[in-house]
Chain A
Amino acid sequence: MITDLTDEQIVELAVRENPNAFGEIVNRWERKIFALCYGMLNREDEAKDAAQETFIAAYKNLNRFRGEAKVSSWLHRIAVNQCLTKKRREKTRSESFFDESESAEEKFFPAPGDKAPSNLAEKKERLQAVRQAVGSLPPELKEIIVMKEFEEMTFQEISEVLEMPLSTVKSRLYTALKQLRMKLENVSLEVV
């Protein structure tokens, strides 16, 4: 059964005889890659595009996969690059602050027992603040916080994907948390 094979075996199978086997790789990693892209781009449609392009690029370059790294690391690396490329293209377009807030309203799913207007408004503001705080982080800090918080990857996995030492991963995560703390504490003060 194809589901019993490892990622590397499936890639080899897809290269040799059955390209459709790559679909199993997509099934296994689509959620995580989508989460990574969403965390990096903060927009559903852009995250969808980036994830799609990630899998297309991976499929086209399957023959270049040497097996030196894990398939998951390889996919994550492609996804991060796709998100960074998209972000660079977006910088040339002038996107206003209100676009983000409107999309946030569409995507806000209030939890049960939390439907009081004051609570909802407060929650919206808080989420918006968090989204903006994460979005304003430098790319090298954002990707680590997204991988850790959105994808729940281990430090070792992040180290392999980003090809950096464990100590550097932890150090950058510390810096990212510190910057987020400062931004969110300022927002709390403003709200109060």
Chain B
Amino acid sequence: MFDIGKNNSGCGCKNELVAYLYDDLEASERLKFEKHLALCSICADEIRAFGAVRLSVADWKKAEFDELPVPAFELEYAEPLSKNSPEIETGSRASTWVEKIYASFFLKTAGGFVALLIVFGAGWFLLNSPENASDEFAGQTVETDEKSNEQVFADQKAAAETSASKSAQPQSAAPEEIVSIASKKTEADEKTSKNPESIVSMTNTEKAQKIEKTEKVRTKKKPTLRRNSPPVAANKNAPETASVEQEKIQPQRTKTKEKAPSLTEFAVEDQTDDEIRLSDIFDEVGSDR
């Protein structure tokens, strides 16, 4: 608080100095500052000088102002500013006619806006009720499923081509995803053909569960197919190609040892491979039931 040595603005205790000058310190604080004054020449000098300034200002006030008569201020007191106005108690009122009009206009527009909001909100809620939403969603899923099946087949073709070209390289997760998507979408396709109504009532969670089941089945069955089928995909057996592909997709530990089939082995039989794979899946699904 009392830092001796700062010469820029006294010793840094200007607030205490001013309070002491105008007798605005408590007894204990005054004693403390007086002890400081005894040690700080800067503060002591300022106290003396400021005291002289105060005396000069007081002399000026006494000489030029104290003797002046207080002027008579005349005000024209009009009618009561707000007579019988209950708004005074609340602390808010529109005293002028302009303010009243503005207040009423504002209230009307605000009320109208609120009413509009309520109407729109009710309409939106009715349109987007759960029943309506589920039907729409089901319709959309059917449509999207149909579209996505074509997309999946195209992707599968592309994946098969790329996998054949990149047989030496480690397989990425894309083919696996495509296979899984294919399993999902083909299953949905099967359901639409067999029981369109069931899709409408099926929820996303149920679909996901079904998909997981089919995947498990496929993953389980793949080893058996792999063992039985010859490794080369020269014949038109889907399990063989699927198993070969599966080998490629599997963790790449064994990959390095096995020789990947060349592109020419798959080139002619892409379409048939797809068909066979689908039928294979259908069989599997049918066997589950």
Contacts and interface: CB of A to CB of B under 8 A. Distances in A.
Interface of A: 12, 14-20, 22-23, 26, 30-31, 34-35, 38-39, 44, 48, 51-52, 55-56, 59, 62-63, 66-67, 104, 107-111, 123, 126-127, 130-131, 134, 145, 148-150, 154-155, 167, 170-171, 173-174, 177-178, 180-181, 184-185
B15 A174 contact: yes
A67 B209 CA distance: 69
A48 B71 contact: yes
Contacts of A30: 70-71, 73
Given A48-B71, A173-B18, 5 more contacts: A15-B80, A30-B73, A55-B73, A171-B15, A181-B49
A56 B75 CA distance: 7
B19 interface: yes
B57 interface: yes
> Which secondary structure characterizes the binding site on chain A?
helix
A18 B80 contact: yes
7 contacts: A15-B80, A63-B82, A127-B59, A145-B57, A149-B61, A154-B24, A177-B18
Given A15-B88, A109-B67, A20 B77 contact: yes
Contacts of A39: 61, 65
B83 interface: yes
Nearest to A21: B77
A180 B81 contact: no
Contacts of B49: 181, 185
Contact of A177 (B50, B80, B83): B50
Contact of B68 (A15, A38, A56, A178): A38
B58 A149 contact: yes
Given A51-B73, A130-B59, A171-B15, A184 B53 contact: yes
A87 B9 CA distance: 30
Contacts of A134: 57, 60
B58 A52 contact: no
B61 A167 contact: no
Interface residues of B, number: 44
A131 B60 contact: yes
Nearest to A131: B60
A149 B18 contact: no
B55 to A, nearest CB: 10
Nearest to B66: A109
B22 interface: yes
Given A130-B59, A150-B61, A170-B18, A52 B82 contact: no
B91 interface: yes
B14 interface: yes
B276 to A, nearest CB: 86
B188 interface: no
Contact of B80 (A17, A108, A127, A145): A17
B82 A127 contact: no
B71 A148 contact: no
Contacts of B74: 52
Nearest to A155: B24
Nearest to B93: A63
